[in-house]
Every structure is written in structure tokens, then in C-alpha cells.
């Protein structure tokens, strides 16, 4: 697994290769397909829920006034769509136990 504390696509593919027995190429392809399906769903405006893990939610944020922290000048912030992640209760419990 990754040494810097980051889980990568390659790490996921390697784990599939070892635990499921798929070839390395099949494992990498499967990881790409899953991530592709998730990305496509989000691009279409759908939320993505993975039971026991969490939910990726799209939110539309309205226009608002922000302030440049360096100069103090007020500037309008354009409306935009943002992606948020909300961990499931099971995942939150697991993270707390790991501390």
C-alpha cells in the first residue's frame, strides 16, 4: 500500500489482484470502470451512495458576496456546484476506533 498515507488507484488494483485473484490488468480495468461509473453519475447530477462507506452529494451554491482577506475588498462569488462527501455512520465509527 501507499507509504505516504494516500490510497491510489494502483493500490486498489493491487489489492484486487491479491485478494480476488484477477490479473493485474483486469484489476486495474475494474478499478477504472468503477471510478468511471461514479464520475459519470456525478457528472449527470446524481448522488453516489456506497453502503457502509458514505455518500458523494452534489450541491448547488448560490451567488454570495465574499471578501478578499488581504485587501478587504468585497467581491461577488459566482454560483457553482460543489461535491461533498458524507461518511456513513459505520465509517465514522471505524475511523474513531482507529485513533
Q: What is the pLDDT of residues 30-42, one digit of tens each?
A: 999 999 999 999 9
Beta bridge partners of 66: 75
CATH number at 47-99: 4.10.520.10
Note the pTM of the prediction, 2 decimals: 0.76
96 confidence band (pLDDT: 50, 70, 90): confident
All CATH 4.10.520.10 domain ranges of the chain, comma separated, are: 47-99
Burial status of residue 27 (CB atoms within 10 A of its CB: 0-12, 13-18, 19 or more): buried
CB atoms within 10 A of CB 15: 14
Amino acid at each position: 500500500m501507499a507509504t505516504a498515507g494516500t490510497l491510489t488507484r494502483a493500490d486498489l488494483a493491487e489489492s484486487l489482484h491479491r485478494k480476488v485473484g484477477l490479473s493485474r490488468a483486469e484489476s486495474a480495468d475494474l478499478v477504472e470502470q468503477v471510478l468511471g461509473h461514479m464520475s459519470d453519475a456525478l457528472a449527470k447530477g446524481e448522488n453516489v451512495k456506497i453502503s457502509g462507506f458514505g455518500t458523494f452529494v452534489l450541491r448547488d451554491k448560490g451567488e454570495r458576496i465574499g471578501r478578499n482577506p488581504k485587501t478587504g475588498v468585497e467581491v461577488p462569488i459566482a454560483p457553482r456546484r460543489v461535491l461533498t462527501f458524507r461518511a456513513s455512520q459505520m465509517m465514522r465509527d471505524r475511523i474513531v476506533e482507529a485513533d
